Structure 1
């Protein structure tokens, strides 16, 4: 009974202590943070090292990348040869080359060497250069050709079809070939032709030449007077230069146009000169002003015997008796 009384007393005392009234003045706004010095924010959390924590997480969670393995290199044997099957080429029956002068395009038909002219020669702005190309005939030319050069080849003949329909052709230079024959109408249709160079060939006769010529050079040939048309140069109203030296001419080709400036006839077979060859015996006041360069040297003619023949000239021709 005494033990029960003791337990009851202790219980009542504890209840009275826990029920003591709280002093609210100790926690008002004025002294709320009085004990804040006991909180050190700079040291708060020093017990946790986050860097160590991150390292532990990274090391503990990432797996190393799998190793990359390269395929073994393929080594071919030294005598390895790859076989390739080629498709069969279509066969085409060969057709002979023909001249289509009215066909469109710049290139002419194939030459004797199987190449277009502008591949065999050089074509630049209307000029065709075929010098020293081992040609034996004149190749088909582009239709807009204005100047044609085929010097120092082995051409032996000029045919009528060689220059057909070349209406813009102004110069032909065939010097240094082996030409011995020229068709009569080879140049008849060339209404724009101004310069014709045939030096150093074997020409014996001149064909009909267009009246538009200004410069004719037939030096060092086999030209004879019988191989020239009568009054061959009469209608050439613009002819200025006429070179006929080192041929076999028997006389000066007359009449000569008034526009003529240079006439070379040296080293021919001229034996006489007519009184009207250069002047006009019926008009003693006539003066031929343009003709300033005449050469008759190397001919059997004695020009001293024909003093009246040169009275209309601005200067006497060059020539001495043989």
Structure 2
């Protein structure tokens, strides 16, 4: 009998639950805590049976009165909180997918770091990395185009360095002064700057100097070396270097000098290669009294003879690539003294000249080595 009452009561409760409007959303929750549910039914049936037997004397023959009296009209099961939160999160995610992302820039002064924020600035998931602007963006650029930062083809190139007025500037501020050496290389100078009185070595290579005046090196009693390589010199005063009592080395190669100036007897090295010195560009017996001259280089010019007499101290003579066509037998040797030997002159270069060295064999008998040049 008890089993029959339990079965009828369960069927009626199931029918009431199916009729509930929340049943469609809670299908998977109807089995919530089935073990506890069975235990509750047992307790309810026991209490009902006792009430029927002792209080009102009702029987089992009328189950509708018993069930109608005990069952609530709308039985609602408790909903777990986790399921509600899960559904809320799903709805919020669907809304976030539908809403377009509108970045917002948080002001620096309001505690933000200047990063772009999503629609919900309270969520860390909405943080987006900030993208730095290039200097060209938003500054006169055409909309829809990206500026590469390179100059346009029609724009003129900027000069490598600004034009600086060097006139009147102290030499040791313009150039580099180290002890007695003054270095003024590659400064776009168009004239020799004023030098300190104690200058011993002066370098002004790769400039735009066009002329050497007599006053450029006046009263430079300690000057020993002048290097003016690769300038644009076209004129040199004939006495520009004669007032230098200590001058030993002069390098004026790679210029446009038509005539070699007069030089003091103290010279040890003269390099006037790659110029425009012609047949009349060297003074007569210009090197005779230079008893300490060691190196004489006059290559790549237009001279047509060997500038004799040459001092006995000379070690190296370079005259290649000129227009020398002949040489006398006494150019280097003394035909009146067969015991004379020029031991110092070991390097003579005459290659690149239209001269046949084999025609003057007696001209080399006093030399330790035969000159370099054409023998045919």
Aligned counterpart, 1:185? 239
Using structure 2 for the length normalisation, give the TM-score: 0.55
CA distance in 1, matches of 2:197, 2:245: 14
Unaligned runs of 5+ in 1: 1-110
- TM-fit CA distance, 1:277: 0.7
Matched, 1:306 2:306: no
Aligned counterpart, 1:171? 225
CA distance in 1, matches of 2:292, 2:185: 28
Unaligned runs of 5+ in 2: 1-164
Q: Which residue among 121, 143, 146 is the counterpart of 2:200? A: 146
Are 1:299 and 1:321, in contact at CA under 8 Å, matched by a contact in 2?
no
Matched, 1:243 2:297: yes
CA distance in 2, matches of 1:257, 1:112: 42
Aligned counterpart, 2:348? 294
Name the one with the larger helix percent. 2
- TM-fit CA distance, 1:168: 0.2
- TM-fit CA distance, 1:180: 1.0
- TM-fit CA distance, 1:166: 0.3
RMSD, aligned CA: 1.1
Q: Which residue among 115, 120, 142 is the counterpart of 2:169? A: 115
Q: Deviation string for 1:256-302 (max 9, x for gaps)?
A: 00000000000000000011110001111110000000000000010
CA distance in 1, matches of 2:181, 2:206: 17
Aligned counterpart, 1:194? 248
Aligned counterpart, 2:284? 230
Q: Which residue among 130, 139, 143 is the counterpart of 2:184? A: 130
- TM-fit CA distance, 1:112: 4.7
Equivalent position SS for 1:309: helix
Using structure 1 for the length normalisation, give the TM-score: 0.65
- TM-fit CA distance, 1:194: 0.6
Q: Deviation string for 1:214-233 (max 9, x for gaps)?
A: 01111111111301110000
Q: Which residue among 209, 226, 244 is the counterpart of 2:263? A: 209
CA distance in 1, matches of 2:279, 2:291: 22
Relative CO higher for 1 or 2, CA cutoff 8 Å, sep ≥ 6? 1
Aligned counterpart, 1:255? 309
CA distance in 1, matches of 2:246, 2:236: 19
Query: Relative to structure 1, is the Cα distance of residues 179 and 321 closer, same or farther in structure 2, using a 3 angstrom cutoff?
Result: farther
Aligned counterpart, 1:76? none
Aligned counterpart, 1:10? none
Equivalent position SS for 1:192: coil
Query: Relative to structure 1, is the Cα distance of residues 275 and 257 closer, same or farther in structure 2, using a 3 angstrom cutoff?
Result: same
- TM-fit CA distance, 1:113: 2.6
| Higher mean C-alpha deviation, range 223-232 or range 261-270 | 223-232
Equivalent position SS for 2:280: helix
Equivalent position SS for 1:119: helix
Matched, 1:316 2:366: no
Equivalent position SS for 1:260: coil
Q: Which residue among 215, 224, 229 is the counterpart of 1:161? A: 215
Query: Relative to structure 1, is the Cα distance of residues 165 and 293 closer, same or farther in structure 2, using a 3 angstrom cutoff?
Result: same
- TM-fit CA distance, 1:152: 0.4
Are 2:166 and 2:174, in contact at CA under 8 Å, matched by a contact in 1?
no
